[in-house]
Structure 1
């Protein structure tokens, strides 16, 4: 994999770092604090794309030759967007709401260079079995999913015992739709 320019990842997520590294790409992590507020009129995929784009714009003035990747993952239950839970009670409520039904995980991604910008998203449908209160409690107590949209990580215990099936990209649920990202990086000439 050849890079035409330095690549930056604007994320502290260990999962995103691991996925990007698994593509065989060399990159540097650069993180700024960016508020994750969004206009209330936005719907589902628009929210994920808006947040990814908003994060990227915080770096625009700093960019020289680099390309920067930003991403935001949201969990949607109907029209309700489940962000990162603030505490145990909110995490418990989210997992109870997801129990026994399907929901969508949408990751918005932005690739920004000094003169190009690509914003896109991927959607994966995830179906949980009916989770017991004891399973939910065990997961929250042992895995503390407070940094995860929807209060769960598919790659963790709750995903192993609770997810019956998915429709779409597994990696999208982890936090980065790497197949779509790879295609976009090629289209922008960042990799060859």
Structure 2
């Protein structure tokens, strides 16, 4: 078997949690979450002496807030903003728990940078009646537990990673989808 054949046989499922810190707080600390009302929510971190937005919920994004913005600027736009301090260790522990839960889909699940998981699903699709069904089962389960997740399947972990984070326009095949990704992907 030549190198192209062995690479084509590999399949990867990337799971990306764009709101992981927010989702973790909402699920793990419902008391803290509910106590702050229904306003947009952000997670902040100290960057060179300034409190900056690190993660925003969908409402904060819709209000025009962006990651990297100072907390003072964000509060000027949204006075009722719910603010939570970043907890990278808590987020990492949560992501590791999610990774452990993915053992039901493949024995080869690993953390992927930027709040993601990478599952090597090579040879696992038939257990779920296909790769798409496996991906759907994984995302459905995570969403039932309150996580918002985006996913992509590709022949390489890099392509799956990029496609999950930067969805391309519909394409006839994986190669075309990868070619349509923006440069930053």
Q: TM-score w.r.t. structure 1 length? A: 0.28
- The higher relative CO (CA closer than 8 Å, separation ≥ 6) is in 2
Q: Which has the larger radius of gyration?
A: 2
Q: TM-score w.r.t. structure 2 length? A: 0.29
Indicate the structure with greater helix content.
Answer: 2
Indicate the structure with greater strand content.
Answer: 1
